[in-house]
Amino acid sequence: MKHFPIFLAVEGRRIVLSGGGEAALAKLRLLMKSEARIEVFATEPAEEIVAWAGAGRLHLTRRALRAGDVGDAVLFYAADEDEGEDARTAALAEAEGALVNIVDNLEDSRFITPAIVDRDPVTVAIGTEGAAPVLARAIKRDLEERLPASLGMLARVGKAFRPLADRLPFGRPRRDFWSDYYFGAGPRPDTPEAARAALDTLLDRHLAAEARAGHVSFVGAGPGDPELLTMKARRLLHEADVVIHDRLVTPEILELARREAVLVAAGKEGFGPSVAQCDIDAMIVEHAREGHQVVRLKSGDPTVFGRLDEEIEACEAAGVGYTVVPGITAASAAVAGIGQSLTKRGRNSEVRFLTGHDVAGFADHDWRALAAPGAVAAIYMGKRAARFLQGRLMMHGADASTPVTVVENASRPDQRVLTTTLADLEPALSRAALSGPALTFLGLAPRAAAEVLHTQDLMEAAR
């Protein structure tokens, strides 16, 4: 690209042109579309130029250009149709600091003028760097045909209407509305009043359709305590026609759905029986397509080990609108239950959320980093993988006395805390025979236990 296209601010600024013949006329027709102040210097101006000057569309001076005439002009056109005169006026303008174009002289011009499709405020500029003016004209013709003459007016009216259209949800619904306005079928409004009326009707139609259309909310149910629901989660649960929930979501939370709402258990639980993910995806989409308000209720936060993306993709593929409502993840609830922080100045400035197993089996991790002193990790779905984690961490040099805490049923009345060390994790975990969901912290002991250990250390040191 030897010429970089830009849109120059010319409103109220001067553009000077030297010349009064055909070349000048062609350029002036273009320039007069702009809101610049146009000044022409010509000894023999064409009739049209005289008429335009008479109509106040440009300012005409009937003599050749002289030094000082260009002054603060932003652009200068040499359209004298005479090589010598063009060179003289261009040099004058250049000396006065204007960007210079010499008509039909690409070589010596500082800028070139593109072919323009004008649907103000929509402007399409086409350039071929002088290589193929015929092509530029063909493209222009093509665009002229495709872009309705009223497009500029439509865009201006549309711009003023934007705040009203913001009543539609962000994303697809709003995009569909605008695309319907500009490219939809039906008669095209040809006056601003008709366009405005069309927008009003169209918006009503889209809002109504939006209200009728099914919608999916991916809602975080938190760790189990109903008081740890967000207010938004509570409201959506109350409004839902269908609630598709994980097995981990507690009955107390499901209680908050309306009596008439359909409750569907579609969870996956550890290694037990579960509904296939693609069936869950299909179920969500199907209910939304029937026009239902669907709440897909996921334990904790939907974005943490929740296979959220697959379900979102299913909605997107089906053109179903969705929103994501965050929830309190198990790690946050569990750490609160042991009076610790996930991060702490001087101890750990990062915390990792891991899963004990993934699609391929026990999940692999950056064991070296996890084995480092002070490392803190929240391990989800870690019960079965405990022995594997223990082995890998010890193998990578983790201290056998690293504290490990397992919090079962975090935030629920039956919450249990198992305090152990990396070396003792198994068999301690098997012995405890936890049956509820459990979160394992590597590198964290409950505050009280940490204090006991700390005092023991002090006592030992004192001995």
Q: Looking only at residues 200 through 259 of this chain, which bind ligand SAH when binding is defined by CB under 6 A?
A: 223-224, 248
CB closer to ligand SAH out of 402 and 409: 409
CB closer to ligand SAH out of 103 and 325: 325
Q: Looking only at residues 395 through 414 of this chain, which bind ligand SAH when binding is defined by CB under 6 A?
A: 407, 409-411
Q: Which of 243, 240, 295, 250 is nearest to 264 (CA)?
A: 243
Q: Is 154 in the site for ligand SAH (CB under 6 A)?
A: no
CB of 257 to ligand SAH, least distance (A): 19
Q: Which stretch binds ligand SAH (CB under 6 A): 132-140, 258-266, 422-430, 435-443?
A: 435-443
Q: Is 300 in the site for ligand SAH (CB under 6 A)?
A: yes
Tokens of 205: 């139609």
CB of 262 to ligand SAH, least distance (A): 23
CB of 268 to ligand SAH, least distance (A): 9
Please say if 232 is a catalytic residue: no
CB of 248 to ligand SAH, least distance (A): 5
Q: Which of 326, 276, 331 is nearest to 297 (CA)?
A: 326
CB of 336 to ligand SAH, least distance (A): 11
Q: Which of 430, 436, 383 is nearest to 413 (CA)?
A: 436
CB closer to ligand SAH out of 18 and 440: 440
Please say if 166 is a catalytic residue: no
What is the Cα Rg of the chain in Å? 36
**With contacts defined by CB under 6 A, how many residues of the chain interact with ligand SAH?**
23
Q: In what order do the strands lie in the sheet with 242-245?
A: 262-265, 242-245, 293-298, 215-220, 321-325
Identify the residue among 109, 329, 340, 419 touching ligand SAH (CB under 6 A): 329
Identify the residue among 189, 306, 321, 443 touching ligand SAH (CB under 6 A): 306
Q: Which of 246, 281, 301, 383 is catalytic?
A: 246
Q: Is 330 in the site for ligand SAH (CB under 6 A)?
A: yes
HSE-up (13 A, CA, CB side) for residue 6: 7
411 close to 333: Cβ distance less than 8 angstroms: yes
Q: Which stretch binds ligand SAH (CB under 6 A): 205-213, 234-242, 326-334, 364-372?
A: 326-334
Residue 287 contacts by C-beta under 8 Å, 6 or more apart in sequence? 214, 241, 242, 244, 262, 294
Q: Looking only at residues 248 through 267 of this chain, which bind ligand SAH when binding is defined by CB under 6 A?
A: 248
CB closer to ligand SAH out of 333 and 429: 333
Which residue's beta carbon is nearest to the bound ligand SAH? 300
Residue 399 contacts by C-beta under 8 Å, 6 or more apart in sequence? 373, 422
CB of 443 to ligand SAH, least distance (A): 17
Q: Which of 232, 268, 399, 424 is catalytic?
A: 268
CB of 12 to ligand SAH, least distance (A): 58
HSE-up (13 A, CA, CB side) for residue 285: 17
Q: Is 75 in the site for ligand SAH (CB under 6 A)?
A: no
CB closer to ligand SAH out of 48 and 358: 358
Q: Which of 18, 16, 13 is nearest to 62 (CA)?
A: 18
Identify the residue among 109, 299, 402, 405 touching ligand SAH (CB under 6 A): 299
CB of 409 to ligand SAH, least distance (A): 5
Q: Is 438 in the site for ligand SAH (CB under 6 A)?
A: yes
Q: What is the DSSP pairing of strand 215-220 with strand 416-421?
A: unpaired
Distance CA 70, CA 89 (A): 9
Distance CA 370, CA 368 (A): 5
- DSSP assigned state of 184: -
Q: How many CB atoms lie within 10 A of CB 318?
A: 16
Q: Is 101 helix (H, G, I), strand (E, B) or coil?
A: strand
User: How does DSSP assign 398-443, residue by residue?
Assistant: --TT-EEEEEESTTSTT-EEEEEETTTHHHHHHHHT--S-EEEEES
Residues belonging to the active site:
246, 268
Residues at the site binding ligand SAH, with contacts judged by CB under 6 A: 223-224, 248, 298-301, 304-306, 329-330, 333-334, 380-381, 407, 409-411, 437-439
